[in-house]
Structure 1
Amino acid sequence: MPQLNPAPWFMILVFSWMVFLTIIPPKVLAHTFPNEPTPQSTQKPKTESWNWPWY
């Protein structure tokens, strides 16, 4: 049973992390959001009271 042979485990782990660290980050960092968020003002908007005609 080859899965019980621990010799290649370390190299498989190192190779998989090298793949993750060299291929995945450029793809994630190249992502651009379609809508850039606009900064919100710190002032609270003036709220108006609701019209309750049945009260």
Structure 2
Amino acid sequence: MPQLNPAPWFFILVLSWFIYLTIIHTKIMGHTFPNEPVVSADKLEPKPEPWNWPWH
């Protein structure tokens, strides 16, 4: 059974992780957002208190 031989598959696994960690990861982390997040005034207002419903 050739699929039990770990030699070629382990090399492919190590090579693919090496490519991911060196090339693809740096390209993904190099992206910047065009707008910085801003807290709007709506988020700063206190929330209204919940209604006190009778539970009977």
Alignment TM-score, normalising by the size of structure 1 = 0.58
Unpaired segments of 5 or more residues in structure 2? 47-56
Unpaired segments of 5 or more residues in structure 1? 46-55
Q: How many residues are paired up?
A: 43
Q: Offset at 1:39?
A: 2.6
Instruction: Report the equivalent of 2:54.
Output: none
For residues 1-55 of structure 1, what are the structure 2 equivalents within 5 Å? 4=3, 6=5, 7-41=7-41, 43-44=44-45
Determine which structure has the larger helix proportion and give its number: 2
Structure 1: which 4+ aligned runs deviate by more than 4 Å?
A: none
**Aligned equivalents of 1:44, 1:35: Cα separation in 2:** 23
**Aligned equivalents of 2:13, 2:44: Cα separation in 1:** 52
CA RMSD, Structure 1 to Structure 2 (Å): 2.3
Instruction: Report the equivalent of 2:53.
Output: none
